[in-house]
Amino acid sequence: MAISKDLLRECIVSQREMITTAELVERPYRFEDGMNYVLVGVRQVGKSYLLYQRIRQLFAYGHTWDDVLFLNFDDERLAEMSALDLNLILEVHGIYSEQKPILFLDEIQRIEHWEQFARRLVDSKYTVYITGSNAKMLSSEVATTLGGRFLIQEIYPFSFGEFITVKEITLDKDWFHSTSARSVVQRAYLEYFTYGGLPGILNIVSPAVKRSYLSSLYQKIYLGDICARHRVSDSKALNILIKKIAESVKQPVSYRRLNHVIVSTGSKLSLPTTISYMDYAEESWLILPVKNQLAQLSDKESTKKYYLIDNGLLNLFLYNGETTLLENMVCTELCRRYGKDNVSYYNAGNEIDFVVEEAHLALQVTYSMQDTETRERELAPLAKFQSQHPNWTCLIITNDHRSLYTFDGQELQAIPAYQWLLDSNMYEKV
């Protein structure tokens, strides 16, 4: 039975209050007027709140509810809604205004065959913003299904800058030279470093409750976005695979090696299925793959370094994992700034942890520089790289150490991660 217009109108009106009253942290995502967007990212990363933010921006520019239509399909009152009912949304809005609204369709993947409706909207010159759960709607599928009509906007957990904004920490431009300000930043950094930047965790005080929240979220990603969506037949093998990825952060690992680890636990998982499971984890935004910039195509695709989307999720699998968490945090920050497809590592005998060619940026990541052997291991390849790329910015990111080194005629700066995360523009040549 078709949903009634009165019920649909009731849902639209009642959801407006949530948008106007929700407490928002202004996030640095920008949307071009007149363009259509699909927001993608890991579960609970704040995609719906970004729709709220965009609507409020439109209101600040002079728009009203006569120009904007928001509908969250996760509303239980819409449980019986079908694709045949979608056009009623436009009919209901037409009661209030004759002009075409800017449409915000949240969790629309709950409606089977929603894609045809989205295509028709854009072809009819509507402006449309869409979000959806990774369990039902993946960016790769959206790009294919919607035929280039939408821009895909990657949404990441909060950056450290956003994190301290939530914590109501205010810094001036000289904060690093103030002992008291540095102490405040370092305390916030330790929390961010340990528990990550997913919005749902930021106001949780208890460490035990933080861990419980993250564990529950991982289970939803693992069981919902991956196992249920893809009908994974060997969920135990998948769980072992994800744990191995977490343990292997920082190290290049091949599909064949991962398959060997799983088989050694008694599973009969084939290599092609192992590759498929890796693809599923990437599609769910649980893991971020990083390729070797210098590798041949076959090696680029089969041997990569893998990182988790958030330190809090990664920390569920680690014990005394400070060095791993540091490199993981740097990787996610680079992906946030430049896009995950633009971040790689560089291995020409001596490895550079991260390079971003479009930014002319090369980074080594090490927890501490106190040990002589560690210093030489980190400085030697970076000095060689800098001599070959004199117009690049080459940095060493540490946990809390700042110094200037001279090695093989090259000056190399080491800075604390918390400073790099906040003052990155001081050090990057874009």
* C-alpha dihedral, 186 to 188 to 191 to 195, nearest 10°: -120
Residue-wise burial string across 251-277, b where 16 or more C-beta atoms lie within 10 A, e elsewhere? ebbebeebbebbeeeebebeeebbbeb
Burial class (CB in 10 A: 0-12, 13-18, 19+), 384: middle
Phi-psi region of 377 (alpha: psi -120 to 50; beta: other; left: phi over 0): alpha
The DSSP bridge pattern shows strands 344-347 and 351-356 to be antiparallel
pLDDT value of position 320 = 87
Q: Residue 51 in contact with residue 131, Cβ under 8 Å?
A: yes
Structure letter (DSSP) for residue 85: G
Domain ranges across the chain: 5-154, 204-310+318-326, 343-426
Structure letter (DSSP) for residue 119: H
Place of tokens 């045949």: 84
Q: Confirm whether 5-154 and 204-310+318-326 share one CATH topology.
A: no
pLDDT value of position 141 = 62
∠ CA 295-226-280, nearest 5°, is 20
Query: Which one is the CATH code of 5-154: 3.30.300.30, 3.20.20.70, 3.40.50.2300, 3.40.50.300?
Result: 3.40.50.300
pLDDT value of position 139 = 55
Q: Tell me how long the chain is.
A: 430
The DSSP code sequence of 148-200 is: T-SEEEE--SPPHHHHHHHTT----TTGGG-HHHHHHHHHHHHHHHHH---GG
* C-alpha to C-alpha distance for 236 and 248, rounded to whole angstroms: 18
Per-residue pLDDT of the chain (430 residues; tens, 9 = 90+): 578 889 999 999 999 988 989 888 889 899 999 899 989 889 899 999 999 999 999 999 999 999 999 999 988 998 888 888 999 999 888 776 678 899 999 988 888 888 889 889 999 999 999 987 665 565 566 666 776 788 888 899 999 999 999 998 988 888 988 999 999 999 999 999 999 999 999 889 999 999 999 999 999 999 888 898 888 988 999 999 999 999 999 899 999 999 999 999 888 889 999 999 999 998 889 999 999 887 666 666 678 899 999 999 999 999 889 999 999 999 999 999 999 999 999 887 778 999 999 999 999 999 998 888 888 989 999 999 999 999 999 999 999 989 999 998 899 999 999 999 997 543 332 2
Assess if CATH 1.20.1250.20 describes domain 204-310+318-326. Answer: no
**Maximal CA-CA distance, the chain:** 77
The one-letter amino acid at 217: L
Q: Residue 336 in contact with residue 196, Cβ under 8 Å?
A: no
The one-letter amino acid at 177: H
pLDDT value of position 423 = 76
The DSSP code sequence of 319-384 is: SS-HHHHHHHHHHHHHHHHH-GGG-EEEESSSEEEEEEGGGTEEEEE-S---SHHHHHHHHHHHHH
pLDDT value of position 372 = 87
* C-alpha to C-alpha distance for 288 and 394, rounded to whole angstroms: 23
* C-alpha dihedral, 144 to 145 to 149 to 154, nearest 10°: -70
Using a CB cutoff of 8 Å and minimum separation of 24, what contacts does 259-267 make?
A: 262/237, 265/237, 265/240, 267/234, 267/236, 267/237, 267/240
∠ CA 327-331-335, nearest 5°, is 175
* C-alpha to C-alpha distance for 411 and 401, rounded to whole angstroms: 16
pLDDT value of position 344 = 93
**Token pair belonging to 398:** 């540490």
For 394, list phi and psi in degrees, rounded to 5: -120, 120
Residue-wise burial string across 397-412, b where 16 or more C-beta atoms lie within 10 A, e elsewhere? bbbebeeebebeebeb
Q: Residue 305 in contact with residue 289, Cβ under 8 Å?
A: yes
pLDDT value of position 395 = 96
pLDDT value of position 425 = 45
∠ CA 296-302-307, nearest 5°, is 110
Phi-psi region of 242 (alpha: psi -120 to 50; beta: other; left: phi over 0): alpha
